[in-house]
Every structure is written in structure tokens, then in C-alpha cells.
Amino acid sequence: MSLENRISEIIVSRLNVKPEEVTESANLKDDLGADSLDMVDLMMDLEDTFDLKISDEEGNTLQTVGSVVSFLKTKGIEA
Amino acid sequence: MNLNATAVVTGAARGIGLEIAKKLISVGWTVAALDMLEDDLATAAEALGEMYKPYTVNITDSVQLKEVASAVAKELPVVKGIVNNAGITRDTLMMRMSEDQWNLVIDVNLTGAWKVTQAFMRSLIRAREGSIVSISSVVGLVGAAGQTNYAASKAGLIGMSKSLNRELAGRGITVNVVAPGFIETEMTENLPEEVRKDYLSRIPAARLGLPVEIAESVAFLMSPSAKYITGIVLPVDGGLTT
Ligand SMILES: NC(=O)c1ccc[n+]([C@@H]2O[C@H](COP(=O)([O-])OP(=O)(O)OC[C@H]3O[C@@H](n4cnc5c(N)ncnc54)[C@H](OP(=O)(O)O)[C@@H]3O)[C@@H](O)[C@H]2O)c1
């Protein structure tokens, strides 16, 4: 499964949204309805799934689905 | 009735914690009973059956707690309740209190509750419902000579719960504190006769409370009837603090 699809799956299950809503430019808070607890939950899920640490500063920069994908790629995660 | 939901209860091998476990089971909860006392856990498990699941763990040990949290997630219904009940005392006048006595009581009663809550809370957040109840003490409200460590830990639980309430109330999760007065348990059994008399003279109800009376309050705060009650401290003390 591609990295994009894995991330999309996590977001769909955590935020209770439809897969087609999870576009690259979708904003996690404004478009997908995440509140601050959802964001923390999501970050922790990404940490568990991809076995890495996301600092609070890094977490704050992850506003859109696309930014999550490119952040994980900079961490060397491809799929 | 089976709620198909798990309540994590610490210090559930005996005393008030065991009574809480019994009561919660009687209203349909599965109980993950966390305690250090392996033998007492086994005895309770034999008596209470299927719905009482013992886990031997020291709640000050983050590594052990993580293991228990993943075991509970695998083995039991989804966690929707947390009861921070495990507690200890190391009484002595402040002038004589060692740093170890201070640290141990804070570590178990306050930091332990924080660790347990943190280890299990994600499951409540995801379920978007649940309740967290911490067992404080009237001593956390009014203080007691010889208990600076214990009172600080019990007052700390109140601040922790009130803050956590502000984080979680929007998710349908209630966070409350029960503050028992003097209850008939091993903790109070060994009191010197004159201390006991002095206590009794200060309790309007003129008797010590029973563990089951604490358990009833906890079960109520965790029931659908109490969905709109959150962030409170409920004294169950025969009128002692009022
Ligand atoms: N009894 C009262 O009058 C009264 C009044 C106000 C508040 N309370 C509070 O009510 C709660 C229950 O009191 P209780 O009288 O039922 O006490 P208890 O009979 O001593 O039971 C406490 C249980 O917690 C366990 N425990 C202690 N430290 C632990 C740790 N680090 N990890 C895991 N388990 C641990 C104990 O095991 P070990 O024996 O191995 O330590 C014990 O089984 C306590 O928080 C207490 O402060 C009691």
C-alpha cells in the first residue's frame, strides 16, 4: 500500500470522515473537523504506525494531509 | 446485563478497591483489576469469576503499565472506565518525615494515578464516552496532622481531575473525584482506640463508613445517570467535612 493510502486510512478511521474527503490539500482541522485532541491522537497513531517521534513543533506544522505525507517522506518513510 | 465495556480499577485486590470492583461487576462492567498483591488478586478472581480480570502490576512502573495496557486492549472489552483507587500512607509529623516517605506516597497516590490514566485514556477518547473517578480523601480537603505527604497527594488528585475534566468533557467523558471520610478497612482498623473515638466524635453520622458506600458512589458517577456530572469532588464522609 502506498504511503498516501496508509495515511489516508488512519485519518479516515480517526476522524470519522469519508475516504474521498481526504485529499492532499484537505486541512485536518478546517476541512476534516479535527480538534486538538484528535490532532494529538492522530500524531500518536502516526508515531506508532511508522515507529518515529513527532515533536510538538513538528506536529504543529502538520496542517494538511499533504503536509503529513511530505513530513513522513522527509523522515525517510516511503511506504 | 453486560455493558461490554471494561473499567480499570487500581488497588482492586482488597479494601475499597475490591468493593468497587464487585459493585461495577454487578452493574455489568468487566473489571481489569490492577494490584501488586498477586495472591489477593487470585483469591478475588476465584470469588468474582469471569468479569474480574486480575493483572499484577506496580502502578509506579511505567514499563509494566504499558504491558498491562496492551494486554487489556487485547484481552478485554473496550476500556470506558478508569478508577484510581490504589493508595498508601506513610504517616509521620513533617519535622520527622524523610524525603523517601514523601516521595513514595506522592509516587503511588498521585503520579501513579496520572500514569494509569494516561495509559488507558486514549480508549475513552476514541470511544467518545467514559468516566474517570479518582479516590481522594477528606484529608485532601481539610488536612491531617502527620499526613502532609498523603494530603498533598490527595489534594493533587483533585487538581489533576479538574484540569483533565477541562480537556475531556467535550468528548462525553466525565472526570470526578470521590473523597471518602473514615471508612472501615485495614487502613483504619489498626487505629489506636482514642484516635478512633476522636474521629467518631467528629462525624455527624456517628459511625465510620463502609467500603460498599464508596463503591456505590463510584458506580453512580460511572453510570448513565451521572453523564452531566463532571469535575466534581463528592465527599462520602457522614457529614465530616460539611
Ligand atoms: N480506608 C479509609 O478510611 C480511606 C479514607 C479515605 C480515602 N481512602 C483511600 O481509598 C483508597 C483505598 O483505600 P483502602 O483502605 O481500601 O486501602 P488498602 O486496603 O490498603 O488497599 C489499597 C490497595 O492498593 C494497592 N496498592 C498500593 N500501592 C500500589 C501500587 N504501587 N501499585 C498497585 N497497587 C498498589 C495495595 O496493595 P499493597 O497492599 O501491596 O500496597 C492494596 O491492595 C486509597 O486511595 C485510600 O487513600 C481510604
**Ligand 1 test: best mutation among B16, B136, B150, most atoms within 8 Å of CB?**
B16
Looking at residue B44, what is its pLDDT? 98
Q: What is the pTM of this model?
A: 0.94
C-alpha of B157 from chain center: 10
Question: Minimal Cα–Cα distance from A13 to chain B, Å?
Answer: 10
| Candidates A30, A35, A41, A51; catalytic one | A35
Residues near ligand 1 (Cβ within 6 A): B 10-11, 13-17, 35-37, 58-60, 85-88, 108, 112, 135, 137, 180, 182-183, 185-188
Residues from chain B contacting residue A12 (CB–CB below 8 Å): none
Q: How many CB atoms lie within 10 A of CB A56?
A: 8
| A35 labelled catalytic | yes
Looking at residue B187, what is its pLDDT? 74
Q: Give CA separation, A77 vs A2, A44, A74, in Å.
A: 11, 16, 7
Cell 473517578 locates to: B133
Q: Could you give all domains of chain A from N- to C-terminal order, each with its CATH number?
A: 3-74 (1.10.1200.10)
Instruction: Give me the sheet containing B173-180, strands edge to edge.
Output: B52-56, B30-35, B6-10, B79-84, B130-135, B173-180, B233-236
Per-residue tens of pLDDT for chain B, all 242 residues: 899 999 999 999 999 999 999 999 999 999 999 999 999 999 999 999 999 999 999 999 999 999 999 999 999 999 999 999 999 999 999 999 999 999 999 999 999 999 999 999 999 999 999 999 999 999 999 999 999 999 999 999 999 999 999 999 999 999 999 999 999 998 788 888 898 898 899 999 999 999 999 999 999 999 999 999 999 999 999 999 98
Parallel/antiparallel/unpaired status of strands B130-135 and B6-10: unpaired
Question: Minimal Cα–Cα distance from B119 to chain A, Å?
Answer: 13
Mutation pick from A16, A36, A37, A42 vs chain B, by most beta carbons of B within 10 Å, is: A37
pLDDT above 80: residue A79:
no
| ipTM over cut 0.85 | no
- Selecting from B125, B168, B170 the residue whose C-beta is nearest the C-beta of A41 gives B125
Distance B113 CA to ligand 1 centre (A): 12
CB B11 within 8 A of CB B22: no
* Model confidence pLDDT, tens digit, residues A13-52: 999 999 999 999 999 999 999 999 999 999 999 999 999 9
